[in-house]
Amino acid sequence: MQPRRVVVTGLGALTPLGNSVESFWQGLASGVSGADFIKQFDASKFKTRFACELKDFDPANYLDKKEARKMDPFTQTAVIAADQAVSDAKVDRNSVDVDRVGVIWGTGVGGMINFSHELKEFYAGDGTPRFSPFLITRLILDIAAGHISMRHGFRGPNFSVVSACASATNAIIDAMYHIRWGKADMIITGGSENIINEPCVGGFNAMKALSERNDDPKTASRPFDLDRDGFVMGEGAGALVLESYEHAMARGAKIYVELAGGGATADAHHITAPHPEGLGAMNVMRTALNDAGMKPEDIDYINVHGTSTPLGDIAEVKAIQQVFGEAAYALNISSTKSMTGHLLGAAGAVESIAAIKSILEGLIPPTINHFTDDPQLDPKLNFTFNVAQQRKVRAAFSNTFGFGGHNASVIFKSFVP
């Protein structure tokens, strides 16, 4: 069979910059930092005492209290973002074949917040096992996809993808393949992560991955800056409705962009450090271009992984220069993690939405918090430092890389019937 075109017809987002796609985009376009001191627990004794938390977020504003109790925060945000995307796409379960509508979701860690709470309660007691009957179903990583499908009655392919910080992008790629090859007509996809708690902040501190710039949290995420000292943890969710072009046209859906292609590779190098020459990143971008049938000069913008770590930023830029050659100097490059922090398993979803909006709005969100050039980076590259830039964006990349050497990239392009 001929591969089917895959289009994006719905978007949803809960981010440290806002609890909707539009508020998220406005924050990006304005160069707003979502970082502040942690409010979810007392972090005063931690090496890092700040993060990019959700603001003014109460699940009771979105979910029935009884249903919300059954969910860890990573599932709550998944369900809410998916609700937004389904509503945005105007999906009516009575007018689609629910057996051919699926959910493929990404998360890196899953229900760590409730799991941590249950353990603290147990060890603070007398040793008598008193655990919630929802402990396991709050914890398991597949449960977000399950809740979304049950909420909307979607009975197509349903599973979760785990590849650390590449999880949401891998979920989007899997969803694309299911539609492209006729296994489904529509997939709700994306990712969620909510792990701003003691074990996760402490664990990332122990491995020296997080910024410790406690004197100035809002400028702590500094991708490509000489003085970057680690990433800033973020939380939230992003959701996309993908469907075949034919299915979208038949139901009269609005089409935002086309999902042109994607790629996935491994560094096969180290559990946390990237390949120093960006080999896996190089291979994944080439794979995505080949999958999309596109050339480097067809791309106008790369929303990079750009976590603000000393090694990772350098490796990714090396890979871009190898893949794009002279075309690299015509690109806009930016890291929206400078504003949202690193949403880990959800990063690929919210950053895909940023890439899509750049196409729709003709605007490149900036890499904020740039103060000092890094001499290891080519000054002729356009990192979109500090201020958004207007330009026509025909096609945009979104790169995500995860611990374990997982690499995933997707390409979105302007929709042409």
Per-residue pLDDT tens for 318-371?
Answer: 999 999 999 999 999 999 999 999 999 999 999 999 999 999 999 999 999 999
50 has which bridge partners?
37
Per the prediction, the chain carries an average pLDDT of 97
pLDDT of 364 reads 98
Claim: this prediction has a pTM higher than 0.75: yes
Question: What confidence category does residue 173 fall into, taking pLDDT thresholds of 50, 70 and 90?
Answer: very high
Mean pLDDT score, 170-194 = 98
Whether the pLDDT of residue 53 is over 80: the answer is yes
What's the confidence (pLDDT) of residue 191?
98
pLDDT over threshold 90, residue 175: yes
The three-state secondary structure class of 411 is strand
Coil/strand/helix, residue 1: coil
| pLDDT at residue 1 is higher than 80 | no
pLDDT tens profile 255-314: 999 999 999 999 999 999 999 899 999 999 999 999 999 999 999 999 999 999 999 999
**Which residues carry out catalysis?**
165
Q: Are 330 and 254 in contact (CB under 8 A)?
A: no
Enumerate the domain spans of the chain: 1-417
Q: Report the share of the chain in percent with pLDDT over 90.
A: 98
Model confidence over 111-162: pLDDT tens digits? 999 999 999 999 999 999 999 999 999 999 999 999 999 999 999 999 999 9
Tokens of residue 264, six digits: 């996935």
Confidence of residue 63 (pLDDT cuts 50, 70, 90): very high
46 sits in the region (left: phi over 0; alpha: psi -120 to 50; else beta) called: beta
pLDDT of residue 129: 93
CA distance 298 to 405: 27
CATH number for the domain formed by residue range(s) 1-417: 3.40.47.10
Q: Give the percent of the chain with pLDDT over 70.
A: 100
Secondary structure (3-state) at 380 = coil
CB 334 within 8 A of CB 303: yes
Enumerate the H helices of 18-130 as residue ranges. 21-30, 65-69, 73-88, 112-124
Best CA proximity match to 108, nearest among 326, 344, 275, 324: 344
Average confidence (pLDDT) over 200-217: 97
151-178: average pLDDT: 98
What distance in Å separates the CA atoms of residue 308 and residue 224, rounded to the nearest whole number?
6
